[in-house]
Structure 1
Amino acid sequence: MNKAYNNLKFRHELKFMINRHHYFIIRQRLKNLVRPDKNASTNGEYHIRSLYFDDYENSALSEKLGGFRDRHKYRIRVYNRSDRLILFEKKIKCGDYIAKLKEPLDRDMYDAILNGNYEVLHQPDNPFAMELYLEMKQHLLRPRVIVDYVREPYVCENGNVRITFDKELRTGLHATDLFDQSFNPVPALDDRHIIMEVKYDEYLPEYIKAAVQMEGLHQQAASKYVICCKYLKNNNWEDQ
């Protein structure tokens, strides 16, 4: 087994597409039950921009659209448009459980990967870096689409719960550089819709369930990657 998976920890992940009316109600109910994530700015939010990768068969997109319960996808993620923290991630999903592998990159490594120099990932003593390297060399893993949004995160120590509201989902035409100053993302989702995610370890406290109105909401496969890919395709922005 790949050593990168030895300490992999899976968590529950639930996703809901809600409107702004529900968002304001749920946020108010959560007010005295959870606290803002320490990484959020003074306005309680931070910005996320991810570059998603897929192979020559578009496996990540096809498996998601095909309803595969066990799948994975690769992305490079940055926060608040800064290169201080650049993470190459693999998100692994098994049913309603998720786990992540992360490999930090410096700016030089990121630039090299974007320029097609995958040798920077050839690190025999680093299992996950080697997995990325082999995916790029053997399966032609390549950048596909940028996913851009604002996140409002909350945490609760009981159950190690994390609740996030992802807003202003955007993408762009043929964009592959997370730090491109000329990148002008366009809305990929109606601004009235917000993606709420609830992640937790072994259990979800009943008072959190009640606060987020889980009994009245339906889980949805709200993949931001798929939403952005579909938007580009429907607007004839797909790569020919």
Structure 2
Amino acid sequence: MNQKPKYRHELKYMINHHQFYTIRQRLKNMMRPDENVGASGEYHIRSLYFDDLHNSALHEKLGGVRDRKKYRIRIYNVQDKVIHFEKKIKRGDYIAKVKESLTRDMYEAIMRGDYGVLNRPDKPLLLEIYNQVTHNMLRPKVIVDYIREPYVCHNGNVRITFDKELRTGLHATDIFDPELKPVRALDDHLIILEVKYDEYLPEYIRMALQLEGLNRQSASKYVICRKHLKTNTWEDY
């Protein structure tokens, strides 16, 4: 199925625990938890990010290029019930995401370097990734691992997430590796707040967030983890 990207606003902020508890308490009165959360109100996300021979995704982000893309494989709660190969697209101040499901066997083949499983003319995204792998040497680069607490609101199709305990797998690239012990990539006291919405952000949510007083940040989790990898392993970009 050929997916047409749906572009949305995305705002990111770095907040401390005091700000987190204050904002969350306000939001609980006007938003509901995402339906996918467990009893804790959270779920675990682990992604394997890919980049090409020239580390284009990394350098375009660091260079402030406004139109860019990233590819990643994503799982939830370290389970293989849902495995997606995703493309995240940035166009100015808007973001979009398209994705295609993978089976565990397809994932394992990719990990072995058997990228032929992506050569699927009936699935445009997988075929695009196959061409990137073949012509631009797109390869796994870094694991990004964190806990997400999400809230949603029908008005404006708003989704607000608190991403905690950002970790990276350093040189590991197997997201299902039972021996994987991700290490902290961000200060323990910092949480990433993301605000996504369609055409508008309801004023009552904007007031609850008090965005003007927060530290808006541009560094992506991918970049944070790549920088941590470089710092700790002398990786050369």
TM bracket, shorter-chain basis: over 0.9
Aligned length: 237
- Give the drift of 1:172: 2.1
**Which residue identity lines up with residue 201 of structure 2 in the other structure?**
L
CA distance in 2, matches of 1:151, 1:227: 17
* 1:84 maps to 2:86: no
Could you tell me the TM-score, scaled by structure 2's length?
A: 0.97
Task: Give 1:191 shift.
Answer: 1.0
Mapping of residues 202-213 of structure 1, within 5 Å = 202-213=199-210
> Residue 134 of structure 2 corresponds to which residue in structure 1?
137
Q: 2:233 aligns with which of 232, 236, 239?
A: 236
Partner of 2:125: 128
| Alignment-mate amino acid for residue 178 of structure 1 | I
Give the fraction of aligned pairs with identical amino acids, expressed as a percent.
68
What's the RMSD between the two structures over aligned residues? 1.3
2:74–2:83 Cα contact (<8 Å) kept: yes
Please name the residue that 2:108 is paired with: 111
Instruction: Tell me the distance in 1 between the aligned counterparts of 2:236 and 2:57.
Output: 17
C-alpha distance in 2 between matches for 1:36 and 1:133: 36
Runs of 5+ unmatched residues, structure 1? none
Equivalent position of 2:11 in the other structure? 14
**Partners of 1:116 and 1:235 in 2: how far apart?**
26
1:64 maps to a residue whose letter is: K
3-state DSSP of counterpart to 2:44: strand
Q: Which amino acid aligns with 2:101?
A: P
Map 1:47-196 onto structure 2 (within 5 A). Answer: 47-196=44-193
Letter in 1 for 2:172: A
Take 1:166 and 1:237, find their aligned partners in 2: how far apart are those partners? Answer: 27
Tell whether the 8 Å contact from 1:161 to 1:201 is kept in structure 2 after alignment: yes
Q: Following the alignment from structure 2 to structure 1, what is the Cα–Cα distance between the partners of residues 5 and 236?
A: 35
1:25 & 1:157 partners in 2: Cα distance? Answer: 22
Q: Which amino acid aligns with 2:103?
A: D
Q: Secondary structure at the match of 1:165?
A: strand
Q: Which amino acid aligns with 1:103?
A: E
* C-alpha distance in 1 between matches for 2:219 and 2:2: 28
Deviant stretches of 4+, over 6 Å: none
**In the TM superposition, what is the alpha-carbon distance from 1:235 to its structure 2 partner?**
1.6
Q: 1:137 to 1:176 in 2, by over 3 A?
A: same
Partner of 2:196: 199
